[in-house]
Amino acid sequence: MIDYLIEITAFLFGLIVGSFLNVCIYRIPVSQSIVFPGSTCPRCKTSIPFYDNIPVLSWIALGGKCRNCRAAISARYPLVELLGGCAALSTVMVYGINYDTLIYFIFITALLTITFIDIDHRIIPDSISLPGIPLGFLASFILADLTYRESLLGILVGGGSLLVVAYGYQLLTGRAGMGGGDIKLLGMIGAFIGWKGVLFTIFASSALGTLAGIVAMIRTRKGMKLAVPFGPFLSIAAVLYLFFGTDIIDWYFNFLK
């Protein structure tokens, strides 16, 4: 019974954090404060009361529209809130109640914020990725399954590998194929999950990105001119490593036998 209460509490807490992530996703790219003012409707600028700001439930009750001007509210808002809830619940179920869970939850919420900002604006904000690198390294002194050496190597392998790929692509094609934001992001990922996690993230994100790129090219018929943000795939792959990395790696090597 206690375990269920803990999991429910974690999920509800994650929903609330997800609501805050929506604010970050909207305001960080336009250099607005994430604290003041409070939540307002983007269209009519009316302040949103607390009872219209309850994660998921308010969106459903309002039919996905602003109470004041009836402007449509994107379904992404409850989606991000649900993802926050699932992130909190999953980390508690896998890692228990400890500092590891808190650290990994913060890491995942940072990746969620980066993912949706990259989808919308094709940028990965330095205000998240750069502080994330030293924070991830400091976290390695607390995390049970990560040493500071692995974290440091993760930073070097993560940032360095994409830097080499980006430089090589530019030499071969004469144009930039990967932004500096991706390089900093993988450096942050390496700080939190180490060099082994970085290698997994590179291969998994490349596979996911290639598959998504092929599907998108077929649907849009833009061929090789189609630009696909890579940050979301790096983030998804990093989260996969946190929860399933060992199992996936074991399955892969058993499959090769």
Q: Are residues 31 and 145 in the same domain?
A: no
Q: Has residue 168 got a pLDDT over 70?
A: no
Residue 229 and residue 137 share a domain: yes
* 215 and 125 share one domain: yes
Same domain assignment for residues 120 and 237: yes
101 pLDDT higher than 70: yes
Other C-beta atoms within 10 Å of 204: how many?
20
Longest dimension (CA), the chain: 62
Collapsing DSSP to helix, strand or coil, 72 comes out as strand
Per-residue pLDDT tens over the stretch 175-222: 655 567 888 999 999 999 999 999 999 999 999 988 887 887 777 665
Q: What is the pLDDT of residue 223?
A: 53
**For the chain, what percent of residues have pLDDT higher than 70?**
88
Check: CB of residue 17 under 8 Å from CB of residue 83.
Answer: no
Q: With bands split at pLDDT 50, 70 and 90, how would you rate the model's confidence at 165? A: low
Same domain, 104 and 86: no
SS (H, E, C) 204-248: HHHHHHHHHHHHHHHHHCCHHHCCCCCHHHHHHHHHHHHHHHHHH
> Hey, what's the torsion of the CAs at 231, 235, 238, 240, to 10 degrees?
-130
Give the pLDDT mean for 138-152.
96
Domain boundary among 67, 97, 127: 97
For residue 75, pLDDT over 80 is answered with yes
Distance CA 87, CA 13 (A): 10
Are 213 and 236 within one domain? yes
Of 65, 82, 97, the one marking the end of a domain is 97
Are 230 and 151 part of one and the same domain? yes
Same domain, 144 and 205: yes
Do residues 146 and 26 both lie within one domain? no
For residue 66, the enclosing domain spans 1-97
d(CA 181, CA 256): 34
Token code pair at residue 229? 């943000």
- Dist CA 188 CA 129 (whole Å): 6
Q: Domain ends where: 69, 97, 125?
A: 97
Please check whether residues 186 and 77 belong to one and the same domain: no
Residue 78, token pair as written in the block: 């409850």
Task: Count up the domains in the chain and report the number.
Answer: 2
Size of the chain, expressed as the number of residues it contains = 257
Same domain for 225 and 108, yes or no, is yes
**pTM of the complete model beyond 0.85:** yes
- Mark whether 190 and 214 lie in a shared domain: yes
